[in-house]
Amino acid sequence: MRRRTLIRGTVATALAPVGIVAAARAAAGAGRAAADAQGVDVSNYQLGIDYARAAGEGRSFVIAKAGGCQLAEGPYVTSSYAGHVDGARAAGLRVGHYWLSGDFLTPAAAADYFVDHLHDYRVGDVLALDVEVLDDSTRLWNDTDVATWFNRVRERVGAYVPWFYISAGALRAGAWSRTVAAGAHLWAASWGPNNGTYPGAPDLGGRYPDWAAHQYTSVGSAGGVSPVDLNLARSWAFDLTEPTDPPPGGGGLPKSST
């Protein structure tokens, strides 16, 4: 990700592509770690993407930015979020929803806002937390913050597919035992030369058991749009999980799906 947020003064834009997804092609190539799916993550920077075309190009999943809490004026829902989800869903692609961490909500309150504003959430969708410092925020969320967010999301929705996005460098600089215990699959960002080619598996420095998904470049293309972040994911990255030490509290559906 790592782009200043396009949200202030932005209006929603509808995305229209429809179609049937082709069978997802297994990621392959010299130096490429074994992976079962290729996909993209998208926000306001990828308006107009043709998801049927992206499916034909071998993309099988889309992780759409739902919103964040890194702006001083408060939390928000990304204007392109619903359109990305609807377009990807219509093309038969697997869908995910991600939230950008920040200084302007507590982790638990951020999790509640995220769940309350999910669009067309379905069990089996990825629910992801993007941990980086952007826009008005100044502090990277730590292990306790991240685990609190994931555990609160789980309290709200029950068993789900949790992805923890962070750069490999920031991952290596911290300790993440609570996040591991919360059951979060690691979505590691490691771009190497960032020239659109696969740079090899991310270096986790022993800070996480393994990576489930790898964002390997920010200069790819998909569905007629560029630049687009490209990702690989293992098949187990989409498994429903429970924390190893579940927190108290009930499950249940989101309060709202819009």
pLDDT of 40 reads 98
pLDDT of 6 reads 52
Asked, for residue 243, whether it belongs to a domain, the answer is no
Asked, for residue 253, whether it belongs to a domain, the answer is no
Cβ atoms of 162 and 154 within 8 Å: the answer is: yes
Asked, for residue 93, whether it belongs to a domain, the answer is yes
Number of domains in the chain: 1
Asked, for residue 192, whether it belongs to a domain, the answer is yes
Asked, for residue 46, whether it belongs to a domain, the answer is yes
| Average confidence score pLDDT of the chain | 86
Full residue range of the structural domain in which residue 227 is found: 37-238
Asked, for residue 168, whether it belongs to a domain, the answer is yes
CATH code, domain with 163: 3.20.20.80
Pair type for strands 37-42 and 94-100:
unpaired
Encode pLDDT of 164-201 as tens digits.
999 999 999 999 999 999 999 999 999 999 999 999 99
Rounded Cα distance between 141 and 147, Å, is 10
Cβ atoms of 66 and 119 within 8 Å: the answer is: yes
Asked, for residue 142, whether it belongs to a domain, the answer is yes
Asked, for residue 218, whether it belongs to a domain, the answer is yes
Is 258 a residue whose pLDDT tops 60? no
Comparing 60-64, 100-104, 126-130, 249-253, the range with the smallest average pLDDT is 249-253
